[in-house]
């Protein structure tokens, strides 16, 4: 029996891959068009001088999103993908010499914050409990359903959940909420940091964001065997098994639509017709380049971009026993750092530095006795800054900061280097202005202002990925693929019943 429905997916980021798999399982003939020569979007990989580097996202939480997808496809995940739980989610280093190990066990974490900072244990335990509650009641609705369909708001569970929303989550900022939850400045800073998981500013994003720590500290932090790239590889393998066809090095030129209905795409100056088109491209470029819709493009631009990042990949010629898989070196003045990033669109002179080292988990990621460092420093999105000059300055700042905080000569340990800046991020991943998460969540209404997973203007056109609902980051990309494909199947069944 021939599959009778054709679907085209534009872009093979995590969400595009997940959407392609779901549609193929539902009986569609699926073609994925990707402008790069490889799949995965930001979730890519490279090797240099014997060191292996995951190029993009480095934190793996909520493996159940992946498990659910494999179960949906009727496949055993272990044949494609393996991961392990990591007891220590992050090492935090403060300029005042204090250090905190963030364990993914509430009691242990409360002990640690009490011992290292003098924070009251009950504050930590209560915070994590509220974070979990908030996620279970509100988060799961916001993140698993379209906020732009009336049917979502009419569900009993939604009405019940809305009753649990406390005012501080909506009216106050995350920073304000954290300040009222903890006594010590360091604990506040640790929990403020979770705003950066979607490229936002803790001093402006709503207190609702306090549900993010739940994912990492209550549900747990995990490490995929083979590094983050193994997620992309597993999805591609599953997609191919389900009959998805990939077309690499094939940038889509535009989306064909007529009389308010999507008809397919133009690629290589040829028409490719389809019943359904799913764009996993940045929603800005989808409207600007693929739909040529100036009005919608302007609408998207009005929303503030999330922050971007400056990434250094360093092959280090020795091992650092003080460090683990995830490490954070905080800036002294967090408020000034975010003001610099979002209000002045400038790099901050004393930035917070994140260091990810997968060779701590898997020896093969770096030559013997050496380490592969992935350093991410929050940066403003691109508005024409001189990145070459900024990169050289930032590198020196980072070397000085880490040398001081680790009391060792970092410069002498760097054996090889590669980098990514907002311009390269936009070139390689098609993220407008190099913003890593599309729009920021720096306003109370941000969740509702994110572009939906469909458009009322063009039937048969759907959206998934980090620049649309529910947001950026791997877990949310899986969720956006599910929301989009559920909408497609629902809409299609309506048509076939007419």
Q: Which pLDDT value is given to residue 432?
A: 76
Q: Are 467 and 446 in contact (CB under 8 A)?
A: no
Q: Which helix (H) or strand (E) holds 201?
A: none
Sheet holding 371-379, edge to edge: 99-103, 88-93, 326-329, 353-356, 371-379, 308-316, 414-420
**Nearest in space to 426 (alpha carbons), one of 455, 383, 464, 456:** 383
- Among 81, 19, 24, 27, which residue's Cα sits nearest to residue 242? 24
Kindly report the pTM of this predicted structure. Answer: 0.93
Percentage of the chain lying above the pLDDT 70 cut: 92
Nearest C-alpha neighbor of 466 from the set 205, 198, 236, 142: 198
- pLDDT, residue 172, reads 86
Place of tokens 């004393």: 350
In the chain, what are the domain boundaries? 1-43+228-304+442-498, 307-432
Looking at residue 165, what is its pLDDT? 64
How far, in Å, CA of 479 to CA of 469, rounded?
A: 9
Q: Taking a C-beta distance cutoff of 8 angstroms, is the pair 497, 301 a contact?
A: no
**CB of 292 within 8 A of CB of 353?**
no
Contact call for residues 325 and 358 (beta carbons, < 8 A): yes
What is the number of alpha carbons within 13 Å of residue 198 lying toward its C-beta? Answer: 31
Spatial separation of the C-alpha atoms in residues 197 and 195, rounded to whole Å: 5
Q: Alpha helices of 120-213 — where are they, by DSSP H?
A: 121-134, 140-144, 150-153, 156-162, 167-171, 174-181, 185-192, 212-213
- pLDDT, tens only, 300-340: 878 777 778 899 999 999 999 999 999 999 999 999 999 99
In terms of Cα–Cα distance, which of 307, 304, 279 is closest to 488?
279
Contact 280, 16 (CB under 8 A): yes
Query: Residues 484, 464: contact at Cβ < 8 Å?
Result: yes
Class of domain 1-43+228-304+442-498: alpha beta
CA distance 363 to 361: 7
Location of structure tokens 């393996």: 82
Could you list the pLDDT tens digit for every one of the 498 residues in the chain?
455 799 999 999 999 999 999 999 999 999 999 999 999 999 999 999 999 999 989 999 999 999 999 999 999 999 999 999 999 999 999 999 999 999 999 999 999 999 999 999 999 999 999 999 888 887 777 777 777 777 766 677 766 766 666 656 667 899 999 999 999 999 999 999 999 887 889 999 888 889 899 999 999 999 999 999 999 999 999 999 999 999 999 999 999 999 999 999 999 999 999 999 999 999 989 999 999 999 998 888 787 777 788 999 999 999 999 999 999 999 999 999 999 998 998 999 999 999 999 999 999 999 999 999 999 999 988 889 999 999 999 999 999 999 999 999 999 999 999 999 988 888 888 787 877 666 666 666 556 667 889 999 999 999 999 889 888 889 999 999 999 999 999 998 887 765
> What does the longest C-alpha to C-alpha distance in the chain come to?
71
What is the rounded distance in angstroms from the CA atom of residue 143 to the CA atom of residue 147? 9
pLDDT of residue 1: 44
Give the H or E element holding residue 259: none
pLDDT for position 359? 98
Question: What pLDDT shows up at residue 151?
Answer: 73
SS (H, E, C) the chain: CCCCEEEEEECCEHHHHHHHHHHHHCCEEEEEECCCCCCECCCCEEEECCEEEECCCCCECCCHHHHHHHHHCCCCHHHCCCEEEECEEEEEECCCCCEEEEECCHHHHHHHHHHHHCCCHHHHHHHHHHHHHHHHHHHHHHHHCCCCCHHHHCCHHHHHHHCCCCHHHHHCEHHHHHHHHCCCHHHHHHHHHHHHHHCCCCCCCEHHHHHHHHHHHHCCEEEECCCCHHHHHHHHHHHHHCCCEEECCCCEEEEEEECCEEEEEEECCEEEECCEEEECCCHHHHHHHHCCCHHHHHHHHHCCECCEEEEEEEEECCCCCCCCCEEEECCCCHHHHHHHHHHCCCCCCCCCEEEECHHHCCHHHCCCCCEEEEEEEEECCCCCCCHHHHHHHHHHHHHHHHHHHHCCCCHHHEEEEEEECHHHHHHHHCCHHHCCCCECCCCCCHHHHCECCECCCCECEEECCCCECCCCCHHHHHHHHHHHHHHHHHHHHHHHHC
Cβ distance 5 to 24 under 8 Å? no
Q: Are 22 and 485 in contact (CB under 8 A)?
A: yes
* Distance in angstroms (rounded) separating the CA atoms of residues 479 and 485: 10
CA-wise closest residue to 281 among 291, 271, 272: 291
Q: In sequence order, which residues have a C-beta less than 8 Å from that of residue 356 and are 6 or more positions away?
A: 54, 58, 59, 325, 326, 327, 373, 374, 375, 376
* Rounded CA separation 356/326 (Å): 5
């Amino acid at each position: 029996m021939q599959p009778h429905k054709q679907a085209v997916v534009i872009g093979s980021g995590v969400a595009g891959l997940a959407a392609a798999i779901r549609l193929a399982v539902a009986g569609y003939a699926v073609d994925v068009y990707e402008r790069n020569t490889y799949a995965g979007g930001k979730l890519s990989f490279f090797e240099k001088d014997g060191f292996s580097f995951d190029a993009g996202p480095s934190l793996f939480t909520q493996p159940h999103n992946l498990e659910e997808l494999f179960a949906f496809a009727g496949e055993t995940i272990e044949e494609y993908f393996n991961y392990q739980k990591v007891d220590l989610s992050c090492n935090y280093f403060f300029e005042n010499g204090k250090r905190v190990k963030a364990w993914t066990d509430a009691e242990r974490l409360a002990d640690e914050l009490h011992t290292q900072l003098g924070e009251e244990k009950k504050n930590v335990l209560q915070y994590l409990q509220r974070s979990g509650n908030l996620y279970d009641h509100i988060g799961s609705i916001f993140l698993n359903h379209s906020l732009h369909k009336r049917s979502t708001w009419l569900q009993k569970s939604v009405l019940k959940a809305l009753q649990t929303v406390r005012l501080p989550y909506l009216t106050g900022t995350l920073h304000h909420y954290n300040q009222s939850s903890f006594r010590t400045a360091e604990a506040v800073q640790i929990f403020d940091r979770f705003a950066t998981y979607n490229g936002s500013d803790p001093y402006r994003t709503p207190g609702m964001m306090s549900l993010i720590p739940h994912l990492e500290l209550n549900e747990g932090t995990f490490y995929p065997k083979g590094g983050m790239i193994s997620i992309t590889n597993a999805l591609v393998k599953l997609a191919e098994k389900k009959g998805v066809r990939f077309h690499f090095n094939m940038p889509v030129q535009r989306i064909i639509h007529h009389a308010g209905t999507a008809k397919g795409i133009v690629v290589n100056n040829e028409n490719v017709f389809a019943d359904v088109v799913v764009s996993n491209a940045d929603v800005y470029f989808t409207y600007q380049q693929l739909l040529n819709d100036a009005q919608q493009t302007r609408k998207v631009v009005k929303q503030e971009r999330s922050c971007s990042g400056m990434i250094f990949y360093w092959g280090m010629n020795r091992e650092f026993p003080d460090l683990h898989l995830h490490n954070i070196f905080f800036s002294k003045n967090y408020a000034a750092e975010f003001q610099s990033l979002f209000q002045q669109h400038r790099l901050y002179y004393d930035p917070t530095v994140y260091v990810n080292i997968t060779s701590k988990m898997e020896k093969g990621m770096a030559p013997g006795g050496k380490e592969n460092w992935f350093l991410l420093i929050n940066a403003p999105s691109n508005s024409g800054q001189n990145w070459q000059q900024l990169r050289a300055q930032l590198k020196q700042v980072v070397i000085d900061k880490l040398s001081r905080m680790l009391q060792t000569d970092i410069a002498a340990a760097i054996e090889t280097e590669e980098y990514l800046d907002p311009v390269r991020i936009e070139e390689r991943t098609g993220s407008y202005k190099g913003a890593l998460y599309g729009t920021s969540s720096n306003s109370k209404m941000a969740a509702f202002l994110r572009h939906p997973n469909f458009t009322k203007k063009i039937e048969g056109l759907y959206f998934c990925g980090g620049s649309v609902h529910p947001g950026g980051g791997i877990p949310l990309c899986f969720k956006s693929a599910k929301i989009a494909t559920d909408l497609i199947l629902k809409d299609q069944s309506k048509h076939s019943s007419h």
